[in-house]
Amino acid sequence: MISSFPGEGNLSGLEPRNFQKGINGKNTDLFILKNKKGMEVAVTNYGCAILSIIVPDKNGTYANVVLGHDSIDHVINSPEPFLNTVIGRYGNRIADGRFILHGEDYKLTVNNGPNSLHGGPTGFHARVWDAVQINEATVQFSYLSEDGEEGFPGNLEVTMTYRLEDEDNSLIIEYRAETDKPTVVNLTNHAFFNLAGIDNPTSSIESNEVTINADFFVPINDVSIPTGEILKVEGTPMDFRSPHTIGERINEPYQQLINGAGYDHCYVLNKFEAGEISLAATCKDKVSGRKLTVYTTEAGVQLYTGNWLGGFTGAHGATFPARSALCFEAQCFPDTPNKPHFPSATLMPGDEYQQVTIYQFGVEQ
């Protein structure tokens, strides 16, 4: 498997040879996606990780607006293993790494305090996916997650497509999955955005202005597991229904912010009907003028403010301190398998898991 559209001369400065490696009988590679407006996205089939997203600012200056690495070894050994990767089989946390499905008790790998996080330490983010670059703007990934992988039941066949649109500088991510046994599925992409562009050090996102299309959020306990409640954002620092900068309230002595060491919460998106593609969130960087708009079919979006980033080094010497990135992870609610009153994340044989999430980039003067 070799990329059909070589990456030499790409805006990201990434070199294909630094991403070509054999791992457990499969080969990794670099894939460069481009649209007619000049937007460029670099990805690898190791974890379907996004390596760079190159978009212009209000002055036409291009920069990479996701935290990333410049070699496959750095991706594999990253201090942040979920950096811009696909997350599965279950994004976010499952309490105590256990759940019961149709009377069967399943035990998962615990990798986040007492809980299972993002599918476990060898989840989808740490797998080599089969890849085909369909055209200059599209790459498709596929992976068979075998029955029992990280404790999850059923053979799950997953297909993901990353596609750039020409008209509005959108990165569209489409997910499809089928199983041969009842299982739980909650897929997302864990992109770490900084609209100012990565740097040494990469700037704080606390000045970024954010809106989230949600009247409610999912509160968490001190180990980041949902309490089971669905609370109103009104009258709390969790309220982004109108624009607020991240730094405006992130350090308030509000218990939910203390529990998450900042924002690390799932928002219940306002929907007219389940599964519709609708607005989830916006983010603006006033200095560069760059704007990110997120649309999704999912019921929730996790806002994470890079609270645990430790200042490690990434692509081209850029460094990533705490709160130097924002994540908008479209997903089901955390710990849904143990919260029967939450919208179900169960996938049955004969059904198809489907998700579409769009990251649209623009500028405002």
Question: How much is the pLDDT for 5?
Answer: 42
Q: How many CB atoms lie within 10 A of CB 168?
A: 13
Q: What average pLDDT does this structure show over 30-39? A: 96
Torsion of CA 159, 160, 164, 165, to 10 degrees: 70
Mean pLDDT for 266-290 is: 97
Other Cβ atoms within 10 Å of 121 Cβ, number: 15
Q: Write the CATH number of the domain with boundaries 199-349.
A: 2.70.98.10
Amino acid 365: pLDDT:
80
CB atoms near residue 304 (< 10 Å): 20
* Separation in Å, CA 145 to CA 155, 179, 180: 6, 9, 11
Give the three-class secondary structure for 280: strand
CB 269 within 8 A of CB 280: yes
Query: Known catalytic residue: 69?
Result: no
Confidence tier at 8 by pLDDT (50, 70, 90): low
Q: Residue 9 pLDDT more than 90?
A: no
Query: Could you read off the pLDDT of 222-244 as tens digits, one per residue?
Result: 999 999 999 999 999 999 999 99
Which residue is catalytic, options 329, 341, 352, 364? Answer: 329
pLDDT tens per residue, range 105-161: 999 999 999 999 999 999 999 999 999 999 999 999 999 999 999 999 999 999 999
- The pLDDT value recorded for residue 278 is 98
C-alpha distance from residue 72 to each of 68, 97, 163, 175 (Å)? 11, 29, 22, 24
Q: Pick the catalytic residue: 40, 190, 265, 298?
A: 190
Over the stretch 37-84, which tens digit does the pLDDT of each residue have?
A: 999 999 999 999 999 999 999 999 999 999 999 999 999 999 999 999
**What Cα–Cα distance (Å) separates residue 233 from each residue in 161, 239, 242, 268?**
34, 5, 11, 10
Q: Contacts from 34-39 at CB under 8 Å and sequence distance 24+?
A: 34/136, 34/137, 34/164, 35/137, 35/164, 35/165, 35/166, 35/169, 36/166, 37/166, 37/169, 38/62, 39/164, 39/169, 39/361
Q: What is the mean pLDDT of the chain?
A: 96
Domain range list for the chain: 199-349
* Residue 329 known to be catalytic: yes
Average pLDDT over residues 29-33: 98
Determine the pLDDT at residue 245: 98
Mean pLDDT of 94-110: 98
- Compute the distance between CA of residue 355 and CA of residue 186 in angstroms, rounded to an integer: 10
